[in-house]
Amino acid sequence: MSSELLVWINGELVPKSQAKVSVFDHGFLYGDGVFEGIRAYNGKVFMLDEHIDRLYESAKSICLVIPLEKEQMKKAILQTLKVNGLLNAYIRVVVSRGEGDLGLDPRKCLKPNIVIITDKIELFPDELYERGIEIVTVSVRRNSPQSLNPNLKSLNYLNNILAKIEATNAGKPEGLMLTLDGYVAEGTGENIFIVKRKELFTPPAYMGILKGITRQVVIELAKEMGYPTNETVLTLHDVYNADECFLTGTGAEIVPVVKVDGRIIGDGFPGTVTKSLIQRFRVYTQQVGVPIE
């Protein structure tokens, strides 16, 4: 077996250096397509069904028929992890509109391209979780659900990339995005929670956020641990005055936030609720999931 990573493209496993799609693919030309970011822990794929459902919902929303049943898609993901010998991995599934002409019309694209990339997961430094991070509110607003619904995980990520650039220019690892009305939405690639008097608060999905799968897991684990979650409209004032704050996402898991726009959150250290959730989440990810074998 080649030491090169194998990428699944339209049913074939291709070495990474040869894993290519056409420049006429509308995913490349227009960002016309959908994707998912998934993780495998300890030989099991975490929340696989939830990610697959979200992928197919995103596809349906843009009238993209994925030429693979959900079960086949799951098998393909498991197969790709297996051939690459990966037990802990980051998985990227991309379904693009496919090759077309230079116009916008998706009807000219006859066959979607399906790509499954599995790779070693690049973990964030431990220090980040121990000390927490500082974030800033960015000026670019989260896409309005009336124009491009953030619940649709499309290949158009410029809204988030512009926000990330702004945060990076301000010297901060992550940016906080607001809705058009100025309410708290989410990070550039994570959802946001605050903790106040041992209760969790997070913006509701209808505010125009990605309904994160980690967000949902955290809501459920927190409930079991006796911390109720309120899905409610949040202002920056609420965030600045929170006891604790954290971000959630597949890649980042749960990251404590200790400063927002120069305001110290709580006592400036990751809070007890956040720390206990991180601990519980880490155990949970090792326990559940769809086995690769």
Note whether 179 binds ligand PMP by CB under 6 A: no
Q: What string of DSSP letters covers the chain? A: --SSPEEEETTEEEEGGG----TTBHHHHH--EEEEEEEEETTEEETHHHHHHHHHHHHHHTT---SS-HHHHHHHHHHHHHHTT-SSEEEEEEEE--B--SSS-GGG--S-EEEEEEEE--PPPHHHHHH-EEEEE-SSPPPPTTTS-TTS-BS--HHHHHHHHHHHHTT-SEEEEE-TTS-EEEESSSEEEEEETTEEEE--GGGT----HHHHHHHHHHHHTT--EEE----HHHHHT-SEEEEEETTTEEEEEEEETTEEPTTSS--HHHHHHHHHHHHHHHH-SEE--
Closest distance between ligand PMP and the C-beta of residue 91, in Å? 12
Q: Which of 25, 134, 166, 186 binds ligand PMP (CB under 6 A)?
A: 186
Binding segment for ligand PMP among 74-82, 110-118, 165-173, 208-216 (CB under 6 A)? 208-216
Q: Which of 99, 174, 190, 244 binds ligand PMP (CB under 6 A)?
A: 190
What is the layout of strands, in order, in the sheet containing 113-120? 12-15, 6-9, 113-120, 89-96, 33-41, 44-46, 290-291
Q: Which of 8, 215, 254, 273 binds ligand PMP (CB under 6 A)?
A: 215
Binding segment for ligand PMP among 9-17, 112-120, 163-171, 206-214 (CB under 6 A)? 206-214
Note whether 213 binds ligand PMP by CB under 6 A: yes
Positions 92 through 131 that interact with ligand PMP (CB under 6 A): none
Q: Which of 118, 154, 191, 202 binds ligand PMP (CB under 6 A)?
A: 191
Of 6 and 252, nearer to ligand PMP (C-beta) is 252
Find all residues with CB under 8 Å of 109, minimum gap 6, and list them: 25, 26, 32, 97, 98, 99, 100
Of 166 and 190, nearer to ligand PMP (C-beta) is 190
Positions 229 through 258 that interact with ligand PMP (CB under 6 A): 248-250
Of 210 and 255, nearer to ligand PMP (C-beta) is 210
Closest distance between ligand PMP and the C-beta of residue 253, in Å? 9
Number of residues near ligand PMP (by CB under 6 A): 14
- Report CA-CA distances (Å) from 26 to 81, 98, 148: 27, 6, 17
Of 84 and 160, nearer to ligand PMP (C-beta) is 160
Note whether 31 binds ligand PMP by CB under 6 A: no
Residue 153 annotated as catalytic:
yes
Catalytic one of 44, 153, 164, 172: 153
Q: Which of 98, 212, 266, 270 binds ligand PMP (CB under 6 A)?
A: 212
User: From residue 135 to residue 174, what is the string marking binding to ligand PMP with x (rule CB under 6 A)?
Assistant: -------------------------x--------------
Contacting positions for ligand PMP (CB under 6 A): 37, 160, 186, 189-191, 210, 212-215, 248-250
Known catalytic residues are 153
